[in-house]
Copies of this chain bind each other. A is one copy, B any other.
Amino acid sequence: MKPLKIASIPGDGIGQEVMPEGLRVLHAAAERFGIALDITPIEWASCDHYLKTGQMMPDDWKQQLQGMDAVYFGAVGWPATVPDHISLWGSLLKFRREFDQYINLRPVRLFEGVPCPLAGRKPGDIDFFVVRENTEGEYTNLGGKLYEGTEREIVIQESVFSRHGTDRVMKYAFELAQSRPRKKITVATKSNGIAISMPWWDGRADAMHAGYPELAMDKQHIDILCARFVLQPDRFDVVVASNLFGDILSDLGPACTGTIGLAPSGNLNPERKFPSLFEPVHGSAPDIFGKGIANPVAMIWSGAMMLQFLGHQEAHDAILRAIEATLRDGPRTPDLGGKASTAEVGAAIEAAV
């Protein structure tokens, strides 16, 4: 069997601390399930690299990564030395766009052993996916300023939605919902306030729904939808959202399950024309970097999603069970009230795989 070619990019801050744990679990699962791994460590796409070279990534970054099956990514950003618009737009957001990773897939799930901030919710109650559009929408640098620097200053920011870009994320989400037992799709919108793009977005959801008559579809305004994540998280199955709304929901969802320190994500190019990228939802966390206490679960879970995406469902399931078991009975990092180090948790999950 051809080995899976994977670029591992730890990036900044705790990305560097959780990556080794992610890799160790990946290797354990590969060994158990007879998967060959070919891992290329990469030190760019980090603020360190930027401070040394003046750019976040080398000119030939695309060529270097183009042959890979996937990118396994830690975290990027170190605002104290490099402004976000350089670090993020120069790496992560570039990957998403230039590798056409148009799906940002983020599972939201409550585990046994993780204190839930919502009263009375039990594991099993919260188990859904946020499918976020990942290449267009509200994230643009289009627009500009009039009367710049004066009292009369006016700033225009443009969001851009294409039918192509919208339909493909809807399609992915509707298919995912179709594959799940509850057959429910929730469409995040704000068509009562954002008067051009969002009514149109609703229309694209209706058009897609016509092809999935079995699915129950629900369009919800982002304000009340956020409220319902807190009040009725059990009612969700698959939620599809624009770039910005998906960003919000996929931090809020994990927060409702205890900590965004556990949440993984896949930035997917489902056609595999380009490498997909798998990363924790958490960032580089400058405040805890260097202490060896970062929770590696999000990194490890992201690795499981990567194996699943590349066709290894069993390996994914084994890692998930190992995460579950460790969260329930194993060592815990301080964010979960324990005293264990990043490496201790990584080792426990590795052993359980």
A113 at the interface (CB under 8 A from B): no
* A159/B160 in contact, CB under 8 A: no
Closest Cβ neighbor of A89 among chain B residues: B195
A34 at the interface (CB under 8 A from B): no
Q: How far is the CB of A248 from chain B (nearest CB, A)?
A: 5
A60 at the interface (CB under 8 A from B): no
Closest Cβ neighbor of A223 among chain B residues: B251
Closest Cβ neighbor of A196 among chain B residues: B143
Question: A interface, by DSSP: helix, strand, loop or mixed?
Answer: mixed
Residues of B within 8 A of A178 (CB): none
Closest Cβ neighbor of A142 among chain B residues: B196
Q: A247 with B193: in contact, given A231-B255, A260-B227 (CB under 8 Å)?
A: yes
* B231/A251 in contact, CB under 8 A: no
Q: A192 with B84: in contact, given A143-B197, A251-B227, A254-B227 (CB under 8 Å)?
A: yes
A287 at the interface (CB under 8 A from B): no
Q: How far is the CB of A183 from chain B (nearest CB, A)?
A: 22
A68 at the interface (CB under 8 A from B): no
Considering the chains assembled together, what is the distance between the CA atoms of A88 and B199 in angstroms?
14
Q: A152 with B138: in contact, given A119-B116, A159-B157, A251-B224 (CB under 8 Å)?
A: no
Question: Which of A13-21, A38-46, A161-169, A319-327 is the interface stretch?
Answer: A161-169
* B195/A140 in contact, CB under 8 A: yes
Considering the chains assembled together, what is the distance between the CA atoms of A156 and B144 in angstroms?
14
Partner pick for A154 among B139, B150, B161, B256, CB 8 A cutoff: B161
Residues of B within 8 A of A260 (CB): 224, 227
Count of identical protomers in the assembly: 2
A153 at the interface (CB under 8 A from B): yes
Considering the chains assembled together, what is the distance between the CA atoms of A37 and B119 in angstroms?
43
Considering the chains assembled together, what is the distance between the CA atoms of A143 and B159 in angstroms?
9
A310 at the interface (CB under 8 A from B): no
A210 at the interface (CB under 8 A from B): no
A288 at the interface (CB under 8 A from B): no
Considering the chains assembled together, what is the distance between the CA atoms of A248 and B222 in angstroms?
7
Partner pick for A248 among B93, B163, B226, CB 8 A cutoff: B226
A155 at the interface (CB under 8 A from B): yes
Considering the chains assembled together, what is the distance between the CA atoms of A130 and B193 in angstroms?
18
* A195/B251 in contact, CB under 8 A: no
A200 at the interface (CB under 8 A from B): yes
Residues of B within 8 A of A199 (CB): 85
Residues of B within 8 A of A255 (CB): 226-228, 230-231
A253-271 at interface with B (beta carbon < 8 Å): 254-256, 259-260
Residues of A whose CB lies within 8 Å of any CB of B are 77, 84-85, 88-89, 93, 115-120, 138-145, 150-164, 190-200, 222-224, 226-228, 230-231, 243-244, 247-248, 250-252, 254-256, 259-260
16 pairs, CB–CB < 8 Å, chain A vs chain B: A77-B192, A116-B119, A118-B119, A141-B196, A142-B196, A143-B197, A155-B197, A157-B158, A157-B161, A194-B244, A222-B247, A223-B247, A223-B250, A223-B252, A226-B252, A231-B255
Contacts A88-B193, A154-B162 aside, 11 further interface pairs with beta carbons under 8 A come to A84-B191, A85-B195, A89-B195, A115-B119, A157-B158, A157-B159, A157-B161, A193-B243, A226-B251, A227-B255, A230-B256
